[in-house]
């Protein structure tokens, strides 16, 4: 466990904590120095040379420390391209609830919660957002922090493998901060149990020592707001799910909402586009803003290379056909799955493993990635006997549906 975090702020223990932190820092510097190439002036002394001048030792130590500091600084800087991408994504994200397009019911609920919390001078209650990926769960957490005037710490469940990871994250929170954990259903069991008292009583329990000498310390935490995001709300344990005061679902977006999102993003990216072109992109975005923004960037690249000027419906359609995205948002794999079912199995029913073998796709990928959208738009049906292509799928792909197939769907 995180023993450093469990020390009380007495002079003796504070000094011990400072010594431990200093020792850790020295170990890290030593590891960096061990990876450095040997300096020509720092090579082993030749035979017959029994000592080195103290001045040379100081020079060697100073140059090694500077080199280690330089390497550490470069490692912390990261790639500039990644920073530019993050800045662009932050630019696209809406900053207030008024700028957030769609999810009207969710916005009304959160607007009331924010106003009530501000009036009482309290932090927001814990919030759980669930729904398909790409609908704006992370964006909503950032908006909540902005509306409350606090910081937002973002993390993901897979990165919180060890108990000390979540303890360090909680101890660094300030009063009223928003802690966003993505894919919260993937939290390890031990980490999840640490969150129970943190969410309910704003404290964490730290165990010090082992065996008969073990003892538990309770450390207070500043009051904070936990925002959890998940695509599988059923995978959350009941104790964790019940500790959220607000549980809200994000739905897919309508065509007019996605059109507004495309127009807003194009203005931020300084990409000229008319309403018809934005609607053409929104129609193929599967009801998901993330996909709409991604398709807009691909259409922008096409228009720039072809020197087509402003994006209209014709240019958007040509670009998306080039990227194998049809007017219903189906890509090449979606159409291949439906075509295989119709051409080889007369529309079904056909088993999942048979479909996987026929298309060369993994069975889990078909079930979790491709089938949900096909079922959502009514092109695929799951029956006790297997998967069946619906009449809408036959019509979309240009096939005539036989009369005997209608009895399977009825």
DSSP 180-221: EEETGGG--HHHHHHHHHHHHTSEEEEEESSGGG-EEEEEE-
- 177, 182, 241, 259: which is the annotated catalytic residue? 182
**Closest-CA residue to 314 (of 285, 277, 263, 278):** 277
231 is catalytic: yes
- 231, 274, 294, 359: which is the annotated catalytic residue? 231
137 is catalytic: yes
182 is catalytic: yes
Residue 329 in contact with residue 283, Cβ under 8 Å?
Answer: yes
Cα gap 16→108, rounded to integer Å: 50
290 is catalytic: yes
The alpha carbon of residue 196 and the mean position of all alpha carbons in its chain are separated, in whole angstroms, by: 23
Cα gap 345→31, rounded to integer Å: 62
HSE, side-chain direction, 13 A CA sphere, residue 335: 14
365 is catalytic: no
**Closest-CA residue to 380 (of 406, 347, 355, 402):** 347
- 107, 162, 249, 290: which is the annotated catalytic residue? 290
- 59, 107, 138, 326: which is the annotated catalytic residue? 138
Q: Report whether the peptide linkage leading into residue 390 is cis, meaning its omega lies within 30 degrees of zero.
A: no
b/e sequence 314-331, b meaning 16+ C-beta within 10 Å = ebbbebbeeeebbebbbe
Residues labelled catalytic: 137-138, 182, 231, 290
């Amino acid at each position: 466990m995180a023993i450093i975090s469990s020390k009380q702020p007495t002079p003796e223990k504070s000094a011990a904590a400072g010594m431990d932190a200093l020792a850790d820092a020295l170990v890290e510097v030593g590891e960096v120095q061990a990876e450095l190439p040997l300096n020509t002036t720092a090579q082993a002394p030749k035979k017959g040379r029994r000592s080195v001048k103290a001045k040379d030792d100081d020079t060697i130590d100073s140059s090694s420390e500077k080199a280690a500091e330089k390497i550490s600084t470069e490692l912390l800087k990261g790639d500039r391209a990644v920073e530019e991408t993050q800045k662009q994504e932050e630019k696209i994200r809406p900053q207030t609830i008024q700028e957030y397009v769609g999810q009207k019911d969710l916005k009304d609920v959160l607007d009331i919660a924010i106003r009530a919390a501000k009036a009482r001078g309290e932090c927001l209650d814990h919030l759980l957002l669930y729904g398909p990926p790409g609908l704006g769960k992370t964006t909503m957490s950032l908006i909540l922090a902005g509306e409350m005037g606090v910081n937002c710490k973002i993390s993901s469940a897979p990165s919180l493998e060890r108990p000390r990871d979540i303890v360090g994250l909680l101890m660094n929170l300030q009063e009223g901060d928003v802690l966003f954990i993505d894919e919260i259903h993937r939290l390890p069991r031990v980490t999840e149990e640490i969150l129970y008292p943190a969410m309910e009583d704003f404290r964490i329990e730290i165990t010090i020592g082992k065996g008969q000498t073990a003892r538990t310390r309770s450390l207070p935490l500043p009051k904070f707001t936990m925002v959890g995001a998940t695509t599988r709300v059923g995978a959350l344990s009941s104790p964790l799910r019940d500790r959220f005061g607000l549980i809200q679902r994000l739905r897919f977006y309508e065509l007019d909402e996605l059109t507004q999102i495309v127009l807003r993003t194009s203005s931020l990216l300084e990409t000229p586009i008319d309403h018809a072109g934005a609607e053409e992109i929104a129609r193929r975005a599967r009801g998901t803003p993330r996909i709409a923004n991604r398709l807009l960037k691909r259409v922008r690249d096409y228009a720039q290379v072809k020197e087509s000027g402003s994006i209209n419906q014709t240019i958007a359609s040509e670009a998306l056909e080039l990227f194998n995205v049809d007017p219903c948002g189906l890509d090449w794999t979606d159409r291949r799955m439906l075509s295989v079912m119709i051409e080889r199995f007369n529309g079904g029913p056909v088993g999942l493993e048979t479909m996987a073998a026929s298309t060369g796709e993994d069975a889990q990928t078909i079930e979790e990635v491709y089938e949900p959208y096909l079922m959502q738009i009514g092109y695929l049906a799951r029956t006790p006997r297997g998967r069946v292509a619906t009449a809408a799928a036959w019509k979309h792909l240009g096939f005539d549906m036989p009369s005997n197939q209608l009895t399977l769907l009825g």
